[in-house]
């Protein structure tokens, strides 16, 4: 094996379970770091510390891909035949224009989807502090190589994956990678086991994580695509793009329509030639007319317009859609797989309980600014406050200062009266920090905070009231420990506080001389709380038949507690909680079989999230995945709809998403689901309208041919399709939401546009339209206004043309609801619809009543008697469908 390849394989090792000496030996480095010569050689072997760019399609390739859809191919063939054979160039141009508009929009949307990897690449840090040859240098992070020794301090961004070799009170915030809401205390201790989750690897530091406290050193063990972030980038690159239910349904619809059109046209062509003895060219033109009548040319454009209007409405409600089909996909969602931190919770540690004077007090209770516990937790604190009031520091410490400010205790004022003179910094082994403050009377106050069990070992007294200091006996100590345990079981982060007064500062300031004979003052319990509106949103999702599940990198206890508070699971139902380690022990087959048992996943990795999404998808469920971190990006891309967070979300997560929440509000998802359901219902109405109208045209044309009657011309059918299809169909796309739409179960992956009674409605309504049109034609023949044969047939054909056009406009009122009465849903509630019907009616009438247009459209002027016959057919269409709906409702169809 070549040496470079062997070294690259070494980078796949699990360095967290190796000693520091073994890591240095494996990477052939030392405490002084690599020599400049070794670093240059390794740079040639491993390449820059940067993420590899995915292969990109050219704009031309993306454009060509848009024409691979079966429906689009059929439309292109129809356009070519209409233009070159039938000489109907207007028809051909309209079809081609629709196809080109859709292709351009598809290219624009696909280009936006490539932003995820670009955002990941931009996150890399510009500089890194390294020790090479014993000297500390500042270099570009892209020049780091495995074996380099990197120095870290508070405020730095970790430039590569490191095995830590030194950690002095080091805390690193990894929420974007692990999902854990608080910074991790780092150590250099070797970990045991081969399956330690990424969130528990306390001796590792990962690329793009933030150093929030302390300092440290580490050996580079992974660069570029060999880092955890690089692995996620690889997963984003390789993630398969899932077709949305809308795309699947449109493809299915296109194939069904195309096959039917070809079969009917072929039958009509053969019957006309062999049974009726008509000419070849004549039957070819008639077959083209049938294709024009049957193909809903405007359907792709109408669907696109309805989706675009839906995106505008969603944007007004803080849901920003990046990919048009995502609007409709939301409406079919079965599962919302939500990240916890920053999505269901506020991603901000907050004080929830205070324990002092032997009693537990909710954070909402007032507290006197002289309470020792409040003073101690603010003074023993390294939070910095900017001029604008923004708090900088460890999230746990800033939560304590913020609580004090909320209660009227300003630590800045307190420090002016009792300035800090020295301190014993926090240490991850003793888990305490102490600060010493000079008082006005010449004494010194020692303020201590830290782990309650460690602090109680150093305390000899306890404060039980104002000026009431009592010995800390076993009973009182046990009471404090019991309270600490109870709060910890609620997934709260608990700190203890203590203090004492001294007359002089010890010669040596350390834990032994300062942290003893303390007076225990209380406990403070914090949590990253759920968003106020999240519980209601979860309940609304459940009532809509949607199952919310939580996926987080946080600990099981924390995840279980938050899920219980939100109503995702019943409080204490640990059987519904699965950890990443438990998931690793399950085969894909077993997990897919049992996935419905679990509603909460804790301590998970990016691979786990993708696996969870795919398990639900294999069970036929439509999955929406929310997230805000880098670690969420692969799952966001794999889900049917990825939902990123606009405020707290990384650019990576937003780039991989189909939709972004501008307000990071989980409740906005429920609002978007409602809008998505409305969009699908309205697309369904438009399709019902278009297909029933086209079926009526096909039947009219087919029967006219079979009966040997005069046949409607292609230009007449084209005008009907253009005028009576487009405007009303688009207007149906903005119909108001039908009542009770959020009480229905999700449609699911296997539903389609013909579900819920649409298929039967299209068939009987199309037949009814055709029958009424043929009836009017026959009536015109049997009851002519003129006496000559040519005039009789011309009048009858004009009446059939007018009936076929206007009957569709009457029918547009019918499809406002599949089963509900027109009078219940409101005939004239939709102003856009009212205008569409009026404009379409005028455009149809113009072709008949305005001189000059008659010859162009092969029609004649009609008298009042003939117009009343045409209008009677339209009214009959309205009345008959209302009667059928009434019968359907009585039979229990809704």
* Calpha distance 841→846 (Å, rounded): 9
Asked if the model's pLDDT at residue 114 lies above 70, the reply is: no
* Calpha distance 657→625 (Å, rounded): 9
> pLDDT higher for 5 or 418?
418
pLDDT digits (tens, 9 = 90+) for 385-410: 877 778 888 888 999 999 999 999 99
| Residue 356 confidence (pLDDT) | 96
Q: Which residues pair with 551 in a beta bridge?
A: 339, 601
The whole-number average pLDDT for the span 416-443 is 92
**Which backbone phi and psi does 19 adopt, to 5 degrees?**
-70, 165
Which residues fall within 8 angstroms of residue 344, CB to CB, at 6 or more apart? 338, 530, 531, 534, 550, 562, 566, 666
Q: Report the share of the chain in percent with pLDDT over 90.
A: 37
Query: Minimum mean pLDDT among 367-381, 514-528, 649-663, 664-678: which range?
Result: 649-663
* Calpha distance 283→425 (Å, rounded): 93
Which band of pLDDT confidence, cut at 50, 70 and 90, is reported for residue 123?
Answer: very low
| Residue 216 confidence (pLDDT) | 92
Helices 831-849, 789-814: axis angle to 10 degrees equals 180
| Residue 117 confidence (pLDDT) | 39
Which band of pLDDT confidence, cut at 50, 70 and 90, is reported for residue 835?
Answer: very high
| Residue 496 confidence (pLDDT) | 97
Which band of pLDDT confidence, cut at 50, 70 and 90, is reported for residue 726?
Answer: confident
The whole-number average pLDDT for the span 576-585 is 91
Average of per-residue pLDDT values in the chain: 83
Q: Report the share of the chain in percent with pLDDT over 70.
A: 85
pLDDT digits (tens, 9 = 90+) for 230-255: 887 777 666 555 555 666 666 677 67
Report the residue count for the chain: 894
Which band of pLDDT confidence, cut at 50, 70 and 90, is reported for residue 124?
Answer: very low
Give the number of other Cβ atoms within 10 Å of residue 756's Cβ.
Answer: 18
Asked if the model's pLDDT at residue 120 lies above 60, the reply is: no
| Residue 1 confidence (pLDDT) | 35
pTM higher than the cut 0.95: no
Nearest Cα neighbor of 888 from 372, 880, 288 is 880
| Residue 459 confidence (pLDDT) | 96
Asked if the model's pLDDT at residue 372 lies above 90, the reply is: yes
Enumerate the H helices of 271-388 as residue ranges: 280-294, 299-316, 325-331, 372-379
Residue 545 · residue 745 · CB < 8 Å: yes
Asked if the model's pLDDT at residue 325 lies above 80, the reply is: no
pLDDT digits (tens, 9 = 90+) for 747-806: 777 777 777 788 889 899 999 999 999 999 999 988 888 777 778 888 999 999 999 999
| Residue 243 confidence (pLDDT) | 59
Which residues fall within 8 angstroms of residue 487, CB to CB, at 6 or more apart? 353, 355, 494, 523, 525
Which residues fall within 8 angstroms of residue 667, CB to CB, at 6 or more apart? 531, 533, 534, 536, 537, 540
The secondary element (H helix, E strand) that includes residue 632 is none
Which band of pLDDT confidence, cut at 50, 70 and 90, is reported for residue 76?
Answer: confident
> pLDDT higher for 105 or 452?
452
Ramachandran area for residue 220 (φ above 0: left; ψ -120 to 50: alpha; else beta): beta
| Residue 111 confidence (pLDDT) | 55
* Calpha distance 700→688 (Å, rounded): 18
pLDDT digits (tens, 9 = 90+) for 4-43: 444 444 444 679 989 999 999 999 999 999 999 999 999 9
Strands (E), 380-517: 384-385, 391-392, 420-427, 432-438, 444-450, 459-465, 468-471, 493-502
* Calpha distance 524→578 (Å, rounded): 29
> pLDDT higher for 697 or 710?
697
Structure tokens at 667: 């409740």
pLDDT digits (tens, 9 = 90+) for 510-529: 999 999 999 999 999 999 88
| Residue 125 confidence (pLDDT) | 46
| Residue 461 confidence (pLDDT) | 96
* Secondary structure (H, E, C), 171-196: EEECHHHHCCCCCEECCCCCCCCCCC
The secondary element (H helix, E strand) that includes residue 522 is strand 518-527
Q: How many CA atoms lie within 13 A of 201 on its CB side?
A: 24
The whole-number average pLDDT for the span 314-343 is 80
Nearest Cα neighbor of 428 from 511, 355, 486 is 511
Q: Among the ranges 447-456, 534-543, 604-613, 698-707, which has the highest mean pLDDT value?
A: 447-456
Structure tokens at 302: 């109408």
> pLDDT higher for 606 or 675?
675
| Residue 3 confidence (pLDDT) | 43
Residue 71 · residue 251 · CB < 8 Å: yes
Which band of pLDDT confidence, cut at 50, 70 and 90, is reported for residue 809?
Answer: very high
Residue 795 · residue 862 · CB < 8 Å: yes
Q: Which residues pair with 409 in a beta bridge?
A: none
| Residue 4 confidence (pLDDT) | 45
Domains of the chain, start order: 3-53+120-238 (2.70.150.10), 245-318+678-890 (1.20.1110.10), 325-346+531-670 (3.40.50.1000), 350-527 (3.40.1110.10)
> pLDDT higher for 105 or 599?
599
Quote the DSSP letter at residue 597. G
pLDDT digits (tens, 9 = 90+) for 858-868: 788 888 999 99
> pLDDT higher for 564 or 631?
564
The whole-number average pLDDT for the span 138-163 is 90
What are the catalytic residues?
Answer: 339
| Residue 112 confidence (pLDDT) | 47
């Amino acid at each position: 094996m070549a040496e470079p390849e062997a070294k690259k394989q070494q980078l796949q090792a699990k360095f967290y379970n190796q000693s520091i000496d073994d890591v240095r030996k494996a990477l052939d480095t030392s405490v002084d770091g690599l020599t400049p010569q070794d670093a240059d050689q390794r740079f040639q072997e491993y390449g820059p510390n940067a993420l590899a760019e995915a292969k990109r399609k050219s704009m031309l390739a993306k454009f060509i891909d848009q024409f691979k859809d079966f429906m689009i191919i059929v439309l292109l063939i129809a356009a070519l035949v209409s233009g070159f054979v039938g000489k109907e160039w207007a028809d051909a141009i309209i079809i081609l224009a629709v196809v080109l508009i859709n292709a351009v929009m598809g290219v624009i949307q696909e280009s936006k989807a490539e932003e995820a990897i670009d955002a990941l690449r931009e996150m890399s840090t510009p500089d890194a502090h390294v020790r090479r040859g014993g000297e500390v240098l500042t270099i570009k992070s892209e020049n780091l190589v495995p074996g380099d020794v990197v120095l870290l301090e508070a405020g730095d961004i970790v430039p590569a994956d490191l095995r830590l070799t030194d950690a002095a009170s080091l805390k690193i915030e990894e929420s974007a990678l692990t999902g854990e809401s608080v910074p991790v205390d780092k150590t250099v201790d070797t970990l045991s086991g081969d399956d330690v989750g990424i969130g528990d690897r306390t001796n590792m530091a990962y690329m793009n994580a933030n150093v929030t406290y302390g300092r440290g050193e580490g050996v580079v063990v992974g660069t570029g695509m060999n880092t955890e972030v690089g692995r996620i980038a690889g997963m984003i690159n390789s993630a398969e793009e899932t077709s949305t239910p809308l795309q699947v349904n449109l493809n299915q619809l296109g194939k069904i329509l195309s096959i039917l059109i070809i079969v009917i046209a072929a039958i009509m062509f053969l019957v006309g030639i062999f049974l009726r003895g008509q000419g070849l060219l004549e039957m070819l033109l008639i077959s083209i007319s049938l294709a024009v009548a049957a193909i809903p040319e405007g359907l792709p454009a109408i669907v696109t317009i309805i989706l675009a209007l839906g995106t505008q409405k969603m944007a007004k409600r803080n849901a920003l859609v990046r990919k048009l089909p995502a609007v409709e996909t939301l409406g079919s969602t079965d599962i919302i797989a939500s990240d916890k931190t920053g999505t269901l919770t506020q991603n901000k540690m907050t004080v929830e309980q205070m324990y002092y004077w032997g009693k537990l007090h909710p954070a909402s209770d007032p507290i006197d600014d002289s309470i020792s516990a409040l003073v101690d937790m603010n003074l023993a604190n390294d939070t910095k406050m900017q001029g604008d009031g923004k708090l900088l520091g460890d999230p746990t410490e800033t939560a304590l200062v913020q609580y004090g400010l909320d209660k009227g205790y300003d630590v800045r004022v307190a420090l002016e009266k009792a300035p800090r003179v020295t301190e014993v910094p926090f240490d991850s082994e003793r888990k305490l920090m102490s600060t010493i403050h000079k008082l006005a009377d010449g004494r010194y106050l020692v303020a201590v905070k830290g782990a309650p069990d460690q602090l109680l070992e150093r305390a000899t007294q306890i404060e039980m009231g104002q000026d009431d200091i009592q010995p800390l006996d076993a009973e009182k100590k046990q009471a404090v420990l019991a309270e600490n345990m109870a709060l910890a079981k609620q997934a709260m982060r608990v700190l203890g506080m203590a203090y004492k007064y001294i007359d002089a500062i010890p010669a040596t300031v350390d834990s032994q001389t300062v942290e003893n004979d303390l007076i225990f003052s209380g406990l403070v319990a914090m949590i990253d709380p759920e968003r106020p509106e999240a519980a209601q949103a979860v309940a609304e999702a459940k009532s809509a038949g949607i199952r919310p599940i939580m996926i987080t990198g946080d600990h099981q206890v924390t995840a279980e507690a938050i899920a219980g508070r939100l109503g995702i699971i019943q409080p204490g139902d640990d059987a519904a909680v699965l950890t990443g380690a438990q998931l690793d022990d399950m085969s894909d087959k077993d997990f897919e079989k049992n996935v419905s048992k679990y509603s909460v996943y804790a301590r998970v990795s990016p691979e786990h999230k993708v696996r969870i999404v795919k398990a639900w998808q294999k069970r036929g469920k439509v999955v929406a995945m929310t997230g805000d971190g880098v670690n969420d990006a692969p799952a966001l891309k794999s889900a049917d709809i990825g939902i990123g967070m606009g405020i707290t979300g990384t650019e990576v997560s937003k780039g991989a998403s189909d939709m972004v929440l501008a307000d990071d509000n989980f409740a906005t998802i429920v609002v978007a689901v409602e809008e998505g359901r409305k969009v699908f219902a309205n697309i369904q109405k438009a399709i019902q309208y278009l297909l029933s109208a086209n079926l009526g045209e096909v039947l009219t044309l087919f029967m006219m041919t079979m009966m040997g009657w005069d046949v409607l011309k292609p230009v007449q059918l084209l005008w009907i399709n253009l005028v009576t299809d487009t405007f009303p169909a688009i207007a149906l796309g903005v119909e108001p939401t039908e009542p009770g739409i959020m009480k229905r179960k999700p449609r699911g992956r296997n539903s389609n546009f013909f579900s819920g009674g649409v298929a039967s409605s299209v068939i009987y309504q199309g037949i009814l339209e055709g029958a009424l049109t043929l009836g009017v034609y026959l009536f015109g023949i049997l009851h002519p206004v003129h006496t000559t044969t040519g005039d009789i047939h011309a009048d009858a054909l004009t009446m059939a043309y007018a009936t076929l056009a206007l009957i569709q406009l009457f029918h547009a009122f019918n499809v406002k609801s599949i089963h509900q009465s027109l009078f219940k849903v409101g005939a004239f509630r939709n102003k856009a619809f009212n205008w569409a019907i009026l404009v379409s009616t005028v455009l149809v009438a113009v072709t008949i009543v305005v001189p000059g247009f008659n010859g162009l459209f092969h029609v004649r002027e009609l008298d009042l008697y003939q117009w009343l016959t045409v209008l009677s057919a339209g009214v009959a269409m309205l009345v008959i469908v209302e009667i059928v709906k009434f019968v359907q409702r009585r039979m229990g169809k809704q």
